[in-house]
Structure 1
Amino acid sequence: MAAMYQVITPQKPAAILKGVGPKVAEKLSSIGIETVNDVLFHLPANYENLSVMNLADAENNDKVTVMGTVMTEPAVAYFRGGKNRLTVFMEIDGIYVKVTFFNQPYLKDKLIVGEEARLSGKYLKHKLEINGQRLIYEAGGGFRVTYPMGKVMHSKTFNKIVAEVFGGFSFNYDLPETVKAKYRLLSVREALRLIHFPKSPADIKEGRRTIKFYELFMFQLRLMEKRQKERVRNERYIIDYDIDELKAFIDTLPFGLTGDQKKCTNEICRDLKQNVSMHRLLQGDVGSGKTIVAGIAAYAVKTIGEQTAVMVPTEVLANQHYQSFTDTFEDRLTIAKLTGTTTRKEKMEIVSRLESGEIDLIVGTHALIEDDVLFNRLSLIITDEQHRFGVNQRKRLNDKAHRKNVLYMTATPIPRTLSITTFGDMDVSIIREMPKGRKPVETYWRRYDEVDEVMASIASEVRKGHSAYIVAPLIEESETLDLKNVQEIYHMFLDCFGEEQVELVHGRMKPAEKNEGMGRFERLEKPVLVSTTVIEVGINVPNATYMVIFNAERFGLSTLHQLRGRVGRSDMQSYCALISDPKTENAKQRIDIMTSTTDGFELSEQDLEMRGPGDYFGVRQSGLPEFKVADLAEDYRILEHARLSAIELSGEMREDA
């Protein structure tokens, strides 16, 4: 990302600037400023308008800069702990105002009765009082800028260093003239100058708008360059699968593909036929049928005698995929499973069969990337919930491939803005349609004193032979958080349904113990599963028609939606009860959103707005860029235009070549 901010080349160290000696250079380095470009893009965090305003135009609690006449001698009162308050009365724009400064007793000598003074502070209109922040001695208007300097230097000093850059260097990089004209943007130089040295609020706004566009435009160009480099054309990438055999297999499926499933299948199969490696993301809401699309791709690869690996983040998800593929393919594909709990003897046998080419499709966790796991001809890699894996983990599996065709799958509906930035170097296929016969999950909110009503509804479902998930946020009681814990909830359901009907599963159990508990629930031996969020992804029980989430306000929209997606996986009506006493506006908003829609993509957009892009995936390794000015949640329209401009420019560059 550093290259994106190099508008002055060749790159020069900040130490060559006037006023930046060895000691100052060391201070700047301590906050990440090494070069002249770093100086330019170390942008102000705050601005203080030094232009005098008329107090009559100010509203209550406004920050104001005013000029007035000192009417009384300043008085300083001292309090315990060395704190003090200076009070003085001034006439400002015909209004007699009380002005207070806290812990600035030295201002007493600066405020002379009968003389004028300029100051900034917070105006308490109803009290006719200003809580003063500081006296202003600079002449004229303009802005005082404050930089995030980590106490290594005064902002005024750094601002002078920035001025040295503008005075002594030429800018080599800018936005294309056609782009600037089309979107009425400034040059990068002028935009940065207005951000560092504004004379009006409009200057700051215009400068930041251009730099936002520049950041997003340059990032899109980088993604396209990366995409072109990674997609080297080579005839050996072509998977010339047997289309007749593939169609014959699809015809044997006990259900018809939805329109979206057909579209995504065609896009993936088209990729496989190309002389360039596939790099595609398959997005689909929970229960939308991504697995069968991935399975069809694996079958296509099998028709030429080559292999597919499916890597998933958890053993539970590995078990689900393994079972799903086994049920779908029966004896048409040789399928194996490799996880952390696979015994050494079983692993040795699987690795041997994998290396000989006997296994067509292997499903596994991180165990697949271990050095002793070798393939015969691995030609398709499918990674589920890929953002849960690190870049190096994904690369280790990719390096084992004979033909590098990668399909990423996610059940986390990703907002378009994040899809463009995080997965901008991929092709994207989306399944929005749900399989025929599925009914939207009825979602409702209940308070804790209404739990009996929920229990009665669950009992009714259990009598019909259906199952229910009960989710709690904690394993044990917490002294700091007043949350319903899983043990407490487990005993509540034991009292109601009895031990023969209630299963308990949580993340602190040993894998074997947890799998046994899940198994009893999946086999319908016990209809009620009390659990923590370990069931968020990876368990498929079509018989389950009820989801209850305790302390729902503690979960983000994405997690709530993933949990809700565990039910509604058949043609039976399903329900989701959110048990919560939301205390904050944010929590109430999440509950309202969850009860108003079951559309995961709509939820994802609202989740992005509420949480921000940095927290959306919950992990930084997802590859999200950190911009200086642009904000992915707020600036999605600018992102769209920047992306289109980058695509146009990229096309022109290829034509010129």
Structure 2
Amino acid sequence: MSGIHVVQSPDRSIKELKGVGDKVAEKLSGIGITGMNDVLFTLPAGYIDHSVVNLNEAPDGANITIEGTVKTEPQVAFFRKGKSRLTFFMDVDGIYVKITFFNQPYLKSKIINGEFARLYGKFNRNKLEINGTKLIFEAGGGYQVKYPLGGVMQAKTFQKIVRSAFETATFNNDLPDTLKAKYKLMPIKDALHALHFPDSPDTVKAARRTIKFYELYHYQLKIMERRQKERVRSDRFIVDYDIDKLKLFIDTLPFELTGDQKKSVNDICRDFKQNISMHRLLQGDVGSGKTIVAGICVYAVKTIGEQSAVMVPTEVLANQHYESFKDTYGDELVIAKLTGTTKPAEKRDILARLAAGEIDLLVGTHSLIEDDVLFDRLSFIIIDEQHRFGVNQRDKLNNKAYRKNVLYMTATPIPRTLSITSYGDMDVSVIREMPAGRIPIETEWRRFKELDYVLGFVKSEIDKGHSAYIVAPLIEESETLDLKNVYEIHEIFEEYFSPEDVVLVHGRMKAEEKNEAMRSFEALEKPLLVSTTVIEVGINVPNATAIVIFNAERFGLSTLHQLRGRVGRSSKKSYCVLVSDPATENAKQRMDIMTSTTDGFVLSERDLEMRGPGDYFGVRQSGLPQFKVADITEDYRILEVARDEAVKVYESNNL
């Protein structure tokens, strides 16, 4: 159940423990507890504090543990259907209190007039009554432990098995003494014992902090181990580019690089000069200029006569990258494009030129990993939106490389904690600054009753000769959800404007239909594109100055931000209108956040807070680590410290 092993022979059968026979072992196996390590890391899901409280200080309505002297004989009254009520009075801290237990008549023989009793229940201060839940027979009160056992056995029974595991297991793994001293952490065995057999809130807190650090530190060590395997050392990986030619090339560009772009170029070029394979993530918001950085580095590779490749997940994105690289670098680089729709004759020509080393940069989709795509000397691979590719697909392209240097790019700003956990084996470059001249997109939130205003606003942008995106969450009508579907919205806009002005795109259309629809919008033949979220990544129409997102509450902040990034791609003022009647506080909060910032990094942090790491990455979530105690959202400070310590270990081993 836990990936961290703290004992010798962690898979040693639980049948060796007291109280575990075949039947009990089978029950526990059903919830994933088969080995010694599993028992130790099946940690309590919560505690009930049975520390005795002073009744004079107890709040009304609180569940409390009290002790005192029984003052009357317990009386049991029976009702219909076997229901019962047991009552008696106690002297608690000098207060005469009525005690009631429902449907526990068997307790009568255990409650003796004139003797001491301890019990747990809900306190009604006005009536001076306690509705009892349980009598407590253990001395000293303390905690009742609750375990996530799915009802297969009682917590007390499992606690006995845990006690036997502590007596039987040999602990062989702990944190280094230097770290325990530096961060005031407990030995791992003591921390686990404190969580299973707690004696105070402070001890539980200290134990949880220790286990959190332990989990995060060991996870980071694993990432460093993976990093070590990825980073093969060989002089073969050195791209000894001509720095003078590269500087001259950068000077000819018709724009000034931002500070973050310069830093990212320097990061990548420094990697080129190392005798270790590059494994870097370049993250930056939509429109931050990642393609500019990539193109400069492609040119660096060209200065030694070698090749680069860009692999992207969709044909639309391939077209966008190809056009962008051609516009910016077409005079200096020989660029070709290869996708699933490339005609056979053109493909044969590209493959021949590629193998002969005549193409500097090949942009394409999954087509790049086909066996007949052979490079002369591929020394720089760029994989965009890499989470959309499987590991095998990425490896297949990497295996074609002469020098293995890989740059992963993403337009989804990644919160720092997820960057550390999901991409910890990569070096990371971040572009936060936007290029000069970009005007922030103005975002507003409107209700459905303001649809006339929204239509009028879109018309005002179209009248200026601009284009607009209209986004719907669904393709068809839903029986269970009160949402506008793409056909309804298409109809509304066709009626308000005209069929000649509006084009429809959604995921179920045939590729030819979709491509033709996109082409008519990109060519400015039709100013309005009504679409589902297929436009989230890849389409680039600088003339588009408005995007309207219907039922915006259906989307996470990151998706809304990606959609908003379809506009604001020119010097024209651009707008995003969220149309939503949010039913929940969480949805309302998302609308407020979207209208208050256009910073993708701020939004990504808020998105992670609101949705949690499990939902944040969508297809990537399966790769996120599962921790027993640590939470990467709440415990990011511990995560960062644990990473720093793991990096020190990694670096000291690689000096």
The normalised TM-score by structure 1 is 0.92
Contact 2:8 2:169 in 1 (8 A): no
Distance 2:270 2:396 in 1: 26
1:297 maps onto 2:297 in alignment:
yes
Distance 2:290 2:590 in 1: 27
Contact 1:66 1:92 in 2 (8 A): no
Distance 1:92 1:396 in 2: 77
Q: Deviations over 1:152-185 (max 9, x none)?
A: 3333222222212322344222112221122111
Per the alignment, residue 185 of structure 2 pairs with: 185
Per the alignment, residue 567 of structure 1 pairs with: 567
User: Match of 1:414, as an amino acid?
Assistant: I
Q: Report SS of the residue matched to 1:474.
A: coil
> How big is the shift at 1:340?
3.4
> How big is the shift at 1:352?
4.2
1:447 maps onto 2:447 in alignment:
yes
Distance 2:208 2:66 in 1: 27
Within-5 A mapping of 1:5-44:
5-11=4-10, 13-15=12-14, 16-44=16-44
Within-5 A mapping of 1:378-393:
378-393=378-393
Per the alignment, residue 75 of structure 2 pairs with: 73
Within-5 A mapping of 1:305-344:
305-343=305-343
User: Match of 2:605, as an amino acid?
Assistant: E
Q: Report SS of the residue matched to 2:75.
A: coil
**Greater CA deviation, 312-321 or 32-41?**
32-41
**Greater CA deviation, 578-587 or 324-333?**
324-333
Contact 1:553 1:591 in 2 (8 A): yes
Contact 1:73 1:113 in 2 (8 A): no
Within-5 A mapping of 1:158-307:
158-307=158-307
1:509–1:95 Cα change, 3 Å? farther
Give percent identity, aligned residues only: 66
1:495–1:37 Cα change, 3 Å? same
**Greater CA deviation, 185-194 or 43-52?**
43-52
1:604 maps onto 2:607 in alignment:
no
Q: Report SS of the residue matched to 1:608.
A: helix
> How big is the shift at 1:602?
1.0
> How big is the shift at 1:359?
3.0
Contact 2:86 2:104 in 1 (8 A): no
Distance 2:403 2:124 in 1: 69
> How big is the shift at 1:28?
3.2
User: Match of 1:73, as an amino acid?
Assistant: Q
Distance 2:86 2:509 in 1: 64
Distance 2:622 2:287 in 1: 23
Distance 2:208 2:237 in 1: 44
Per the alignment, residue 47 of structure 1 pairs with: 47
Distance 2:438 2:591 in 1: 23
**Greater CA deviation, 500-509 or 329-338?**
329-338
1:258–1:86 Cα change, 3 Å? same
Contact 2:118 2:135 in 1 (8 A): yes
> How big is the shift at 1:303?
2.5
User: Match of 2:231, as an amino acid?
Assistant: R
1:338–1:64 Cα change, 3 Å? farther
Q: Report SS of the residue matched to 2:618.
A: coil
> How big is the shift at 1:363?
2.0
> How big is the shift at 1:344?
5.1
Distance 1:95 1:502 in 2: 79
User: Match of 1:29, as an amino acid?
Assistant: S
Equivalent residue pairs, number: 649
Contact 1:445 1:591 in 2 (8 A): yes
> How big is the shift at 1:376?
2.9
User: Match of 2:5, as an amino acid?
Assistant: Q
> How big is the shift at 1:631?
0.3
Distance 1:530 1:124 in 2: 60
**Greater CA deviation, 221-230 or 364-373?**
364-373
User: Match of 2:491, as an amino acid?
Assistant: H
Per the alignment, residue 552 of structure 1 pairs with: 552
> How big is the shift at 1:627?
1.0
Contact 2:49 2:142 in 1 (8 A): yes
Contact 2:212 2:629 in 1 (8 A): yes
Contact 1:14 1:20 in 2 (8 A): no
Q: Report SS of the residue matched to 1:144.
A: strand
Contact 1:387 1:621 in 2 (8 A): no
Distance 1:12 1:549 in 2: 52
Distance 2:185 2:270 in 1: 40
Per the alignment, residue 414 of structure 1 pairs with: 414
1:52–1:498 Cα change, 3 Å? same
> How big is the shift at 1:210?
0.5
> How big is the shift at 1:237?
0.4
User: Match of 1:13, as an amino acid?
Assistant: R
User: Match of 1:35, as an amino acid?
Assistant: G
Distance 2:575 2:411 in 1: 20
> How big is the shift at 1:10?
4.7
Per the alignment, residue 503 of structure 2 pairs with: 503
> How big is the shift at 1:508?
1.4
Distance 1:26 1:374 in 2: 54
Q: Deviations over 1:77-106 (max 9, x none)?
A: 457xx9x574746557436457464xx455
> How big is the shift at 1:539?
1.1
> How big is the shift at 1:414?
0.7
1:129–1:440 Cα change, 3 Å? farther
RMSD: 2.6
Q: Report SS of the residue matched to 2:403.
A: coil
**Greater CA deviation, 193-202 or 314-323?**
314-323
User: Match of 1:5, as an amino acid?
Assistant: I
1:639 maps onto 2:639 in alignment:
yes
